[in-house]
Structure 1
């Protein structure tokens, strides 16, 4: 699994993955996103020093998913991962997440990484637990039906 920085040229591909019904099912925002809105969001992400967005590719260069890290404060990042619909069921999520964590560490992004996972998404909960994330109890959580899991990363 190799990661590369996302570019504006990835916009339509990332939108197709984002608007996939299974992806939307587990997202905080479940409605479809319009192309122009998505491209504006993507430009903002790419321009932000507080966000890291990577496209994961298999050994033959096939795009397989994304991993994104959003800086919440000086020591905390939130992770978001998407596996391309055509690549699901192959165990790639764990490899994408691990590659993303390595990349973040290599860029000096140590600290706490948080994942927000829909409480009914057993596969994602299992993914993050297997990767060393532990549940964070949050009374009156603004995430509603979402669980928060956290992991400490050391600087690279």
Structure 2
């Protein structure tokens, strides 16, 4: 799985993926976004030194997925969204693992990575567990997982 940093030219398909009905159902924010909201968010995120937006892709193919890292003082939160056409093909774990490697290179420091997942999102819980994340707790229908990069 190859990775690169997201650019402004990726806005259209990221917007389509974000507003996919399954993505909306599994997102913590289960509301569709408008084009203007999306473009504004993307521009802000691209300029934010505490965010890392990574696109996963296969050579000579459409992008497979998108991984976002939000760096906080004591931990980094990660989220993933796959191209709807790439779901169920075994790409999620490869994308997440490649993005975690990219994150380690870009930030060059060990950190605690956390994921927040809707309790009913079994696919994501399985993905993060399979990638080495450990279950922490459940609160308000959100499950929390973590991965200590110092142990990797």
Please give the TM-score of this superposition, normalised by the length of structure 1. 0.92
- Counterpart CA distance in 1 for 2:52 and 2:83 is 18
- Counterpart CA distance in 1 for 2:8 and 2:109 is 23
Please state how far the C-alpha of 1:109 moved relative to its aligned partner. 4.2
Please state how far the C-alpha of 1:72 moved relative to its aligned partner. 1.7
What is the aligned residue count? 151
Q: Give me the CA root mean square deviation.
A: 1.6
Structure 1 match to 2:100: 101
CA distances 1:9-60 after superposition (whole Å, capped 9, x unpaired): 1111101000000000011111110000100000010000000001111122
- Higher fraction of helix: 2
Q: Where in structure 1 are there 5+ consecutive unaligned residues?
A: none
- Counterpart CA distance in 1 for 2:38 and 2:131 is 30
Indicate conservation of the 8 Å contact 1:51/1:70, yes or no.
Answer: yes
Task: Say which is worse superposed, 2-11 or 53-62, in terms of deviation.
Answer: 53-62
Structure 1 match to 2:32: 32
Please state how far the C-alpha of 1:155 moved relative to its aligned partner. 9.6
- Counterpart CA distance in 1 for 2:135 and 2:63 is 30
Please give the TM-score of this superposition, normalised by the length of structure 2. 0.94
